[in-house]
Chain A
Amino acid sequence: MLRCKSWFSVIVLVVGLSGMFVAGTAWASPAKKTTIHVLVRTGIEADGMKEAADYYNKNVGSKTGINVVIDEIGRHGYLTRVVTMLLGRSPKYDAAFLLSNYVGELASAGVIESLDRYFADKELYPYDKEKVGFLPVSFKSVNYKGERYAFPFVISTMFLYYRKDLIDNPERLSTWDGFLDLAKQFTKSHNPASPTEFGTVMQGKSGECMPKEWYVYFWSFGGEFFGPNWKPQFNSPAAVEALKYKVDLVRKYKVVPPDVDTYEYMEVLSALATGKVPFAIQWDAAYPDIQKETEGKIANIAIRVTPHKEGVDPAAFTHTWTFPINAYSKHKEETFRFLAWLTSDPEGSLWVAKRMSIPLPTKQVFFNSDVLAVNPQWEFMFNFMEQYGHAEVAIPEWPVIHDTINTFFSLAFAGEITPEAACELVNTKVEDIMKRGGYYK
């Protein structure tokens, strides 16, 4: 009986001690932190986000109780993976870095969260909208049926990059005629004395980039995607002219390497950075890398507006990389708070811009003197976009239209159909798509 009693008391002691231990830790530890997961694409944005998240967790997260974890996945098939993840209604990632083209589609499917009510809440969004000053074109790109569905994060456009040492009168590059002349001048097959083998390069790879580059030509030849009542204008004279011009660069004048149809962002960057071409149209994001690569090797590369047809305005292509919030996320408010800090907080939003030269589309960032000191090209970029900015149409059907353009234009570049035929076919198909979408009552 004594033994029973002593065992009993040991058990009570152990249980009691454990209970006190548990209660003690629960009381002593700070309020549980919510962890949110954000998915980003490898590269400049991921590195910038990681640093921003680090800073946030140390300095701001302690007050808001939010811990941010950034995960990165590679460029190969990136958009497909993100779209699949959101459509799969997986709560694994609370937000994901996504191109604005897909926002309409995903909003329509109901897998990303409508943000208007969060923006209206002073507690969740305590920033002065006027002071922050989001570029209107960037908000337009995340707009679906009048509501905002994502945070614009990185705005991109395309510049015309050129080598200052080879091009002594860049003014000639302001028109497409001048562009062609100079390209011939710097192509060995036209001008054996040329220092470079080809005059320029382009992003010809079938997929995302090729149509987007064409839009620059299209708008600067005076074209518009849709006329009144959503009538597609892909067979307009401007469209045909723009496509013919671009196809001729490849097939008729051969001023670009014949394998441009395998080139995208990386290959064009490399061609410019190694000085293999005197000028090319390329995304703004390449600017810091090109400056770094060419320092001390060839004369610095300068930028200017993309060419335009005589009598037509130049066109600044704009598209926005955004952060939508997963509709199936379990921590929507916390995610919103973090993203609001990242994009609109006077301190937070400057973080990625200053550290990684990521152009956040707000006046607060673009006109900040510290930021401009590191990125002088942004003043030019902002004005360019404000004056001549064009964006793709933010309708859910856009990815299908984009693929249609890509399909038929690739055939034209491959020489299998004429540019005229390609434009006609695209127009017919797009009209069909719009009809199916119920745009024609």
Chain B
Amino acid sequence: MVRAKFWENIGKDKVVKYFLIIPVVLVLFGVVIYPFAYSVWLSLHDVTIMNYFHPPFSGVDNFLRIFRDSFFWNSIRVTFTYVLVTTGIELVLGFFLASLMNRNVKGTNIFIYPLIVPLALSPIVVGLMFRMGLNRLYGPISYYLGLLNLPRDLLSNVSTALPTLMAIDIWQWTPFVFVILYAGLQALPKDPFEAALIDGASGWHRLLYITLPLLKPVLAVAIIFRIMDSFKTFDIVFILTKGGPGKSTETITIFIQRMANIQGNVGLGAATTLLVLVFITVFAQFYVKYLSLGEKKR
């Protein structure tokens, strides 16, 4: 009789499984679908604040205007540079620190705690404090840079503004990568390494052919998280430079904000977001396929 109940329950699964996802679908639909659909509608109309409620239909006009806007391409370039450089450096630094920690040198375990601290700060606090610190007239960071004969006006020079923002990002997010990679390293099986040592493989060899391939799933997690989040960077850039000097730090999010809020052209803002979304989706599709291919091989 219990057996029968088992099969009865398995049969019910077909219905239950849909019930289980209803709450998620409801919430996401209720809160995301409307703004999303509205954004699509906005992107197809010439919507400015002036004609906000009765905008004329414009079809692909907004998209064409964006394509022809050199500032859009500039923001793509800025965003890409930002995302790729910060993620890349965070991976290298995070891995480096994680390997050091993994050596289990006596007394180094305690360093895990200070190394996590940067993750706790919010963008607004980080942004405002660096704004104060880098101010030439009363900021200590600027002052000490001057003492070391380094350039003092980091946020005001086209050549140093973006690197400064990237440095702040790296400072804040390397701990994240570090923590994940450290866990990954700690959990690696010992056997392949012992075998390699017996075979006389060099440190580099071990690194490239054993450590990294084994770490792939963990690396994938770190990479996808960082890329997704750094793409959306907005608050820090807004507080520190608002996209300046010139337009050298205008990321795609700042560009969208400028179109939508400052110029009041919400249609262009929506069109840009959709373009970005299309791109992210395509990229992510490739990436996820790559991830699951890797997983299936295991």
Contacts and interface: CB of A to CB of B under 8 A. Distances in A.
Contacts of A414: 158, 244-246, 248
B155 A259 contact: yes
Interface stretch (A105-113, A148-156, A353-361): A105-113
B81 interface: no
Nearest to B259: A403
A206 interface: yes
B135 interface: yes
A413 B263 contact: no
A80 interface: yes
B51 A407 contact: no
Contacts of B138: 270, 274
Contacts of B157: 258
Given A262-B156, A270-B137, A407-B71, A105 B244 contact: no
B131 A109 contact: no
A160 interface: no
B206 interface: no
Contacts of B241: 206, 262
Report, as a range, how many residues of chain A touch the other chain: 35 or more
A258 B156 contact: yes
A206 B152 contact: no
Contact of A109 (B50, B135, B136): B50
A260 B248 CA distance: 16
Contacts of A87: 49, 52
Given A206-B244, A399-B264, A414-B245, A261 B49 contact: no
Contacts of B243: 206
Interface string B150-166: 00110111100000000
A237 interface: no
A111 B142 CA distance: 45
B263 A399 contact: yes
B263 A403 contact: yes
B158 A415 contact: yes
A413 B245 contact: yes
B245 A261 contact: yes
Contact of B244 (A80, A108, A261, A415): A261
Interface residues of B, number: 35
A267 interface: yes
A372 interface: no
B87 interface: no
B246 A411 contact: yes
Contacts of B264: 83, 105, 399-400
B67 to A, nearest CB: 16
Interface in B182-205: none
B69 to A, nearest CB: 11
B262 interface: yes
Contact of B156 (A84, A105, A260): A260
Interface string B219-241: 00000000000000000000011
Given A258-B156, A414-B158, A207 B261 contact: no
A235 interface: no
A410 B136 contact: no
Contacts of A410: 244-247
A205 B265 contact: no
A195 interface: no
B131 A262 contact: yes
Contacts of B77: none
B262 A403 contact: yes
Contacts of A80: 261
A407 B53 contact: no
Contact of A258 (B152, B242, B263): B152
Interface in A62-120: 80, 83-84, 87, 105-106, 108-111
A394 to B, nearest CB: 13
Contacts of B248: 414, 416
Nearest to A271: B137
B42 to A, nearest CB: 12
Given A87-B49, A109-B51, A411-B246, A416 B158 contact: yes
A257 interface: yes
Interface of A: 80, 83-84, 87, 105-106, 108-111, 205-207, 257-262, 267, 270-271, 274, 276, 396-397, 399-400, 403, 407, 410-411, 413-416
29 contacts: A80-B261, A87-B52, A105-B50, A108-B49, A111-B52, A207-B242, A258-B136, A258-B152, A258-B153, A259-B134, A259-B155, A261-B155, A262-B131, A262-B240, A267-B135, A267-B137, A270-B137, A274-B137, A276-B137, A396-B49, A399-B49, A399-B262, A403-B258, A403-B262, A410-B247, A411-B246, A413-B245, A414-B246, A415-B158
